Amino acid sequence: MKGFIGKLLIIIVILLILISSISGFLVDIQWFKEVGYLNVFFTSFKAKLLIFIPSFFVFLIAIYFYAKFLAKNYLEIGGMVYDKGEIRKRNKIIFYISLAITLIISFIFTSAFWYRILEYVNGENFNINDPIFNKDIGFFVFRLPLIQAILSFLITVVLVLAIISFIFYAFERAKDGLSLIGFNFRQNPKSRFFGRQLAYFAALFLILLSGVFYIRALNLVYSPRGVAFGASYTDVHVTLPLLKVLIILCIISSFIIFFSILRGRIKPIIYTAAFIVLFIAFEGIASFVVEKIIVAPNAREKEMSYLEHNIQYTRKAFGLENIKEIDFDVKNDLTSKDIQENKNTIDNIRVTEFSQSLEVFNQIQSIRNYYRFNDVDIDRYTIDGRLRQVFISARELDNSLRDPKFQTWQNKRLFYTHGYGAVMSYTNAVTQTGLPQFIVKDIPMSGRFNVAKPQIYFGEINNDYIIINAKNNEIDYPYGSGEKETRYDGKAGIKLNPLNRLLFALAYGDFNLILSNNITSDSRIILHRDIVKRVRKIAPFLNYDEDPYLVMAGDRFYWIIDAYTVTNRFPYSEPYYGINYIRNSVKVVVDAYDGRVDFYLADKNDPIALTIGNIYKGIFKDIKDMPEELKKHLRYSEDVFLIQSTVYEKYHMKNPISFYNSEDLWSIARYKNPDGSERQVEAVYQVMKIFDDEEFLLTIPYTVAKKENMVSWLAARMDKNLGEMVLIRFPKEKAILGPQQFNSRINTDIQISSLITLLNQQGSSVILGETNIIPIKNSLLYVRPLYLKAQGGKSLPELKKVIVNYGDSIVMEDNIGLAIQKLFAAQVPTTPVEEEEDIKTLILRADDTYKKAIEAQRQGDWAGYGRYIKELENILTKLKEKSK
């Protein structure tokens, strides 16, 4: 009986170890099935399996039989005689060693090549040929990398086997008391045997080397030599012909060396090898000499056609060839009528800032210490029949903010499982005290919009697993002195039957999953709740924008993530940030309540995205199938736009002569920091009219390189024209104010700079926001917000002034409407927004104002003290009215 129990325990332990080792794999299968992408998981798994199994047997057979062949021949040559038992024992040792080596090699081979093989088989054509070899770009992107990698792998295998043969032979020579010095391949049977092995390896190496030179010739399309990236004059007229000679030379040399080794003739081997080495050196010297003596002094004549290739293919690769250019003659002749006609544009000028708004959101709208707003997203919504630009931010759960003693397993996994709701504020309006003007706020949500499912189970902050449908209810949101409870009725989660409880406990090393009495067979575990990590786990072959954004649509919240495809293998295209091709081809939508992930193909002309779709059948949905409520909120990727705008600094020039002379080099506009350093201006999302109607745009200004005057303004369109790009060109003969010059004008305006200096000296600090440049008809408006924040404590940043520049006039007023009135004497204040301040906001303001008053008193600033006391009195009056 004891023996039986012992065996049973051993079996249980072995099973637990086995389950633990494959638990991650089993969990992944269930998770991919839950999210509806099991085909993606099995496509990758099947591909790896289909590559690993045959490669394993091929490598095993090759290594085992070659090792067995070496051992047998050397032993027989040495006259050693073994009985059958010793031979079987020797072969068994060889087999196990070969098996271990094969497992390692096959794993490395599979990991390195499985996706490249899938790309090779499924790769789409770009329908663009390179100008040198006339091959489709798809060959260079999807096929050449695999050919090159396999060739490198084969060369490594040949060299390793040759080294093993040499070591084996050197050992045999030493055992026989012979030196390696002075031997020849026909000296004795062992030398002849080694010579034959070496002959095969040398011939095979030279044939593979000819392949290396062929690949090197093809890779000239990525040559950095010359005036631009890609094959240059020297590459085409010197390097390429000489590489073709080297290819033929290596093939001929393989036969010469093979037969020379077999016949024991050393001199032909030495001469042939020396000739190859000298010819390789000659190729390098000849290319260098031609480049320095012939091309460099005459680069303008010799390199122009190749520079044209670089310009053409870089513009294609970065999606810059179809940018619509508009000449914008800056006249600054706006009238009151023009202001009226562009009222919607003016009403959407952004004067609030991301960081300041986020700080305010977290201070007055977190409600509880375990809620946090991670970031602020900008979007547009139709409000009162008009397109309005807004800030929106999700109120997410962050259990790490709790007191550590309350960070229990039950609290984190069972009770506090989700965030709740969001806040939304206007980007062009604030309250009288300079705080955000909310459109949606509070818990439960109140305001102009509402959703039936305000719970945020999937977001940007928390990736911990949670368990829903346990015996106890979840905490939904705080209510008075207690909490409202809820039970999750969505589709997310994997059922925790007894086997799954064990499986997940082993996978996550958390045996509370087994021990907890709150978990039943109807409970479900929700994994991978961080939306970016969730999406990356499903589709790691895409690149994702750094900033997912929240959308309120229908009855719930969604996250939208821009995904883009890249490569560094596009011929003749200049590399930037390690890539030379990019497309914002895929829009990813994640349901914040259910965790459902949908990939929508937005660019059907992207061969890389189409290739991914060929590999993973059904992963992409047509963008036409996206719900209209979500389509209204699609944006152009900021990451992609910034890369494109950086490339466009130089590649807006199409004329190779102008390009070569850098006659019209641009730079993304920059600011000078107070310490003298510089920073690039931010790309700005804004609603404005540049054609017929207001639309959502992503914009960035350019200045002349190393100068401050603005030359152009680039915009990516959204809404009905998603992905289109427009360039506004300003006249070269006029000096157009750039962002830094606008900033300098602020600093040199006596009234504005004096007020800024005064505000900075009274226990507060001034924060200047981002500059918005707004083209209206043939005029430009420059707008920059000014925030004021008390020093010390948790004071709130308050928008106090808006600075607007038009032509030679610059004004600073309390809001954009007053500034426009002053500039144009036009009675057209921006659309009024109902001001709402709740009791909590007023209490926080009262506390902040009181602290400012005390600080002013401490510093002897009695004027400031009186001003703050008066403000405190007004706040207390409002509190009294609201409490009635």
Q: Which of 136, 131, 125 is nearest to 606 (CA)?
A: 125
Contact 168, 190 (CB under 8 A): no
Contact 865, 853 (CB under 8 A): yes
Mean pLDDT check: name the lowest of 188-197, 509-518, 526-535.
188-197
> 405: pLDDT confidence band, cut at 50, 70 and 90?
confident
User: How many angstroms separate the CA atoms of 191 and 262, rounded?
Assistant: 10
Residue 861's pLDDT is 61
If you average pLDDT over residues 320-326, what whole number do you get? 92
Mean pLDDT check: name the lowest of 52-56, 137-141, 177-181, 813-817.
177-181
> 865: pLDDT confidence band, cut at 50, 70 and 90?
low
* The pLDDT of residue 821 is above 90: no
Tell me the percentage of the chain whose pLDDT exceeds 70.
89
* The pLDDT of residue 714 is above 70: yes
If you average pLDDT over residues 468-494, what whole number do you get? 90
Angle between helices 862-882 and 839-858 in degrees, nearest 10: 160
If you average pLDDT over residues 804-816, what whole number do you get? 90
* The pLDDT of residue 829 is above 50: no
The two tokens of residue 715 are 């915009």
Q: Which one has a higher pLDDT value, 544 or 341? A: 544
* Burial bucket for residue 767 (CB in 10 Å: 0-12, 13-18, 19+): middle
When the pLDDT of each residue in the chain is averaged and rounded to a whole number, the result is 86
Note the pLDDT tens digit of each residue in 370-380.
999 999 999 99
Q: Which one has a higher pLDDT value, 149 or 849? A: 149
If you average pLDDT over residues 561-565, what whole number do you get? 96
* The pLDDT of residue 79 is above 60: no
Q: Facing residues of 397 across strands? A: 371
* The pLDDT of residue 530 is above 90: yes
Note the pLDDT tens digit of each residue in 660-669.
888 889 999 9
Residue 39's pLDDT is 93
Residue 692's pLDDT is 80
> 4: pLDDT confidence band, cut at 50, 70 and 90?
low
Residue type for position 612:
I
Q: How many C-beta atoms lie closer than 10 Å to residue 575's C-beta?
A: 16
Residue type for position 296:
A
* The pLDDT of residue 136 is above 90: yes
Residue type for position 525:
I
Q: Which of 337-351, 527-541, 676-690 tops mean pLDDT?
A: 527-541
Contact 357, 391 (CB under 8 A): yes
If you average pLDDT over residues 398-417, what whole number do you get? 87
Note the pLDDT tens digit of each residue in 16-56.
666 666 888 889 999 999 999 999 999 999 999 999 998 88
Q: Which one has a higher pLDDT value, 78 or 62? A: 62
> 381: pLDDT confidence band, cut at 50, 70 and 90?
very high
Residue 810's pLDDT is 92
Contact 137, 571 (CB under 8 A): yes
